[in-house]
Amino acid sequence: MDTVALPILLPLAGASIALLLRKHPRLRAYGALFTMVASLLFTGWLYRNVLNTGQALTFNAGGWPAPFGITLILDPLSGIFILMAQSVMVMALIYTLGSRAAVINYPSFYTLFLTLATGLTGTFLTGDLFNLFVFAELLVISGTMLAALSDHAYGTEAAFKYFYISLLASIFMLLGIGGLYASYGTLNLADLANRIAVQGPQLLFLPAMALLLVTFMIKGAIFPFHFWQPDLYMTSTTPVAAVLAAVVSKLGVYGILRISTLFLPGQVNIFQPMLLLLGLIGVIYGGFSAIGTHDLKRMLAYSSMAQIGFIVIAIAWGTAESLTAAVVYSFNHSLIKAALIMLAGYVASRTSQKSSSFARLTGTGQAVPIAGILFFIASLALAGIPLTNGFISKMLLFGSGIAAGEYWSLLLLGIASILTLIYTMRALMRIWWQKADQGDSQTSTGDSLLAPVLLLCLIVMLGIYADPLVSAGLHAADWLLEPSAYISAVIGE
Amino acid sequence: MEIINALAVGTLFALGIFQILRRNLIRSIIGVILLGNAVNLFLLASGAYNGLVPAYTTEIGTRSDALPQALILTAIVISMGGMAFVLSMLYIISGRYQTSDMDEVSHLKH
């Protein structure tokens, strides 16, 4: 079905048109928003078809049949991740429209934003390992340029660190791809899974898998590879930081989900304890770092690391329930984290220095109590309190942990949830409760609150009526545990 | 031919890893370039030496695999874009921080 390529092609076309509209900033901005909304609606429609029929939609680029050409595949897993990525990007564009940051007036801002969307959608949609590398490069280059276009004085430094790490990651990913090609003679994910199951692990199989796992861990900022992340989220412009923290880091989660179920079912006892250990360290270390930090956006970056740790632990348990929890958790966390970062950017935009450090922000929230209420709800969602979608994902996660009998990990996860409450409430107290220091001036105008309000509506809605999301997560988990369905959808019988 | 290629990949990898561990920013970028070339040669070895007959001829014999060459071509183009970008950022950073020492490019720590 040719329409599967449209979620990639729409943002790409929008990006090229946005380049031509140098002289028309309003048209460029609304055009970008329109493109993203169209792409999101279209993905939603395709994904509905996938769920209704239970069949994945595939598209062979150029008409070459599956193991030889490049395959795009929209299955229950990639569908939910694309939906998540594009909805957060739509919200980020809505935030951008109401933002007062200087950098969004750069002519290339919206173009880069749309190529970022193209790269992200492409990595989720592709069924070919090398194509995944190409889209990941597109994503990294546009993401870095967006981060380097920053009002922050040291934005270039953070972008440089991120790009340097990503460049090394992509070199090692290419090495892993070469190893797999030398061993199995194919790069199509489904064909590879098939051949790995038939031929067993070859000499280069485990090194190649290790390289791919490390690459995805770098993209997802999972514990030992997280060091580039706090700087990047602290310095980039708010909508960019929201997209990077909420959805670009989910690329790592997606990659690990994909390769662990497709390629590594025979190596479960090697990689699952490793993922579990890294996830647990990340959860605790991220929680304590978030408590110890001096900047609101930096705090949210460390919190992101902890929350991704929760998802990694769910993947490490590897049961159907815990994979459901991982998918639902990824979706919910992206909404919550985007809302929190936008609220952080909102209060930071009202300080005279446009800084998000706690020293500058103390007391600035008193003029905007409504943002405080929104931040409070979002923090509750992050900690997993009922009536928010965070509760649904935590409930699924803990339920699957109890079913798997992982009580020690659950104890640590409980501690980490309390850490979440501690750092978000501390931020809330400092910004909205304490009196402002004398002499710190603040402006009366700031960014628009529309996007965080919309995101919070979604958060509460998905907390009260969670059934569609949970059943989509169940679909995705069943699909993941049944690699033969994926293989037959791509290659045919 | 395969021996020469294997030795070249190994040497380039060793040199590249050695260079990216240096503190000098420019040397470490050169290390990244070397690593990229090592990986390209490795990709070439992953399939191109299976047969000695060109891919699209009527000659009889085992065909050489054309796919690794396509992969390398793509990888070279991508790494060229990435290199241009990283060098331009390096230019901005060396101007703004007045240093080429990696440890001094750390104003974001606090």
Cβ contacts (< 8 Å) between B86 and chain A: which residues?
160, 163-164, 167
Q: Give the CA angle between residues A75, A79, A80 to the nearest 5°.
A: 125
Q: Decide if A301 touches B, using CB distance below 8 A.
A: no
Quote the mean pLDDT of chain A: 88
Instruction: Compute the average pLDDT of residues A166-183.
Output: 91
Confidence of residue A384 (pLDDT cuts 50, 70, 90): confident
Tokens 């169209």, residue located: A38
For residues A70, A72, A76, A81, the Cα torsion angle rounded to the nearest 10 degrees is: 110
Enter the pTM of the model: 0.93
Cα A468 to chain center, whole Å?
A: 20
Would the pLDDT of B1 be above 80? no
Q: Do the chains contact at A181 and B47, CB–CB below 8 Å? A: yes
A61: left (phi over 0), alpha (psi -120 to 50) or beta: beta
The pLDDT, as a whole number, for residue A439 is 56
Smallest CA–CA distance, residue B108 to chain A, in Å, is: 7
Select the more confidently predicted residue: B1 or A482. A482
Q: Decide if A106 touches B, using CB distance below 8 A.
A: no
A387-406 pLDDT tens trace: 888 899 999 999 999 998 88
SS3 (DSSP) at B31: helix
SS3 (DSSP) at B101: strand
How far apart CA B35 and CA B12 sit, in angstroms, is 7
Confidence of residue B48 (pLDDT cuts 50, 70, 90): low
Please choose, from the candidates A446, A466, A225, the residue with its C-alpha nearest in 3D space to the C-alpha of residue A335: A466
Q: Do the chains contact at B93 and A160, CB–CB below 8 Å? A: yes
SS3 (DSSP) at B7: helix
Question: How many C-beta neighbours within 10 Å does residue A434 have?
Answer: 15
Rg (Cα) of chain A, in Å, rounded? 21
Q: Do the chains contact at A130 and B71, CB–CB below 8 Å? A: yes
Partner residue facing A157 (CB), from B74, B105, B110: B105
Would the pLDDT of A350 be above 90? no
Would the pLDDT of A3 be above 70? yes
Lowest-confidence region among A69-73, A128-132, B49-53: B49-53
If you measure CA to CA, which chain B residue comes closest to A187? B67
Q: Do the chains contact at A130 and B74, CB–CB below 8 Å? A: yes
Q: Decide if A144 touches B, using CB distance below 8 A.
A: yes
Confidence of residue B55 (pLDDT cuts 50, 70, 90): low
Cβ contacts (< 8 Å) between A163 and chain B: which residues?
82, 85-86, 89
The pLDDT, as a whole number, for residue B51 is 66
Confidence of residue A485 (pLDDT cuts 50, 70, 90): confident
Please choose, from the candidates A156, A87, A345, A159, the residue with its C-alpha nearest in 3D space to the C-alpha of residue A237: A345
Q: Find residue A59's DSSP bridge partners.
A: A72
SS (H, E, C) A192-215: HHHHHHHHCCCCCHHHHHHHHHHH
Partner residue facing A178 (CB), from B32, B43, B82: B43
Would the pLDDT of A440 be above 70? no
Confidence of residue A444 (pLDDT cuts 50, 70, 90): low
What share of chain A in percent tops pLDDT 70? 98
How far apart CA A130 and CA A123 sit, in angstroms, is 10
Confidence of residue A134 (pLDDT cuts 50, 70, 90): very high
Question: How many C-beta neighbours within 10 Å does residue A116 have?
Answer: 29
Lowest-confidence region among A160-169, A241-250, B46-55, B100-109: B46-55
Smallest CA–CA distance, residue B1 to chain A, in Å, is: 17
Cα A40 to chain center, whole Å?
A: 16
Residues A213/A181, Cβ–Cβ less than 8 Å: no
Q: Chain B residues contacting A, CB < 8 Å?
A: 20, 28, 32, 35-36, 39, 42-43, 45-47, 67-68, 71, 74-75, 78-79, 81-82, 85-86, 89-90, 92-93, 96-97, 105-108, 110
What share of chain B in percent tops pLDDT 90? 36
Tokens 């025979």, residue located: A266
Lowest-confidence region among A73-82, A420-429, A432-441, A474-483: A432-441
Tokens 């009526």, residue located: A465
Cα A406 to chain center, whole Å?
A: 26
Q: Do the chains contact at A141 and B81, CB–CB below 8 Å? A: yes
Would the pLDDT of A162 be above 80? yes
Confidence of residue A436 (pLDDT cuts 50, 70, 90): confident
If you measure CA to CA, which chain B residue comes closest to A167? B82
SS (H, E, C) chain A: CHHHHHHHHHHHHHHHHHHHCCCCHHHHHHHHHHHHHHHHHHHHHHHHHHHHHCCCEEEEHHHCCCCCCCEEEECHHHHHHHHHHHHHHHHHHHHHHCCCCHHHHCCCHHHHHHHHHHHHHHHHHECEHHHHHHHHHHHHHHHHHHHHCCCCCCHHHHHHHHHHHHHHHHHHHHHHHHHHHHHHCCCEHHHHHHHHHHHCCCCCHHHHHHHHHHHHHHHHCCHHHCCCHHHHHHHCCHHHHHHHHHHHCHHHHHHHHHHHHHCCHHHHHHHHHHHHHHHHHHHHHHHHHHHHCCEHHHHHHHHHHHHHHHHHHHHHHCCHHHHHHHHHHHHHHHHHHHHHHHHHHHHHHCECCCCCEHHHHCCHHHHCHHHHHHHHHHHHHHHCCCCCHHHHHHHHHHHHHHHHCCHHHHHHHHHHHHHHHHHHHHHHHHHHHCCCCCCCCECCCCCCCHHHHHHHHHHHHHHHCCHHHHHHHHHHHHHHCCHHHHHHHHHCC
Residue A423 — φ and ψ, nearest 5°?
Answer: -75, -35
If you measure CA to CA, which chain B residue comes closest to A130? B71
Instruction: Compute the average pLDDT of residues A22-45.
Output: 90
* Interface mutation vs chain A, best among B35, B46, B76, B90, most A CBs within 10 Å: B46
Rg (Cα) of chain B, in Å, rounded? 19
B4-44 pLDDT tens trace: 888 999 999 999 999 999 888 889 999 999 999 999 999 88
Smallest CA–CA distance, residue A133 to chain B, in Å, is: 9
Tokens 């007391």, residue located: A363
The pLDDT, as a whole number, for residue A1 is 55
Smallest CA–CA distance, residue B3 to chain A, in Å, is: 16
Please give the interface size between A and B, counted as residue pairs whose CB atoms are below 8 Å apart. Answer: 83
Please choose, from the candidates A307, A386, A387, the residue with its C-alpha nearest in 3D space to the C-alpha of residue A340: A307
B67-76 pLDDT tens trace: 888 889 999 9
The pLDDT, as a whole number, for residue A116 is 94
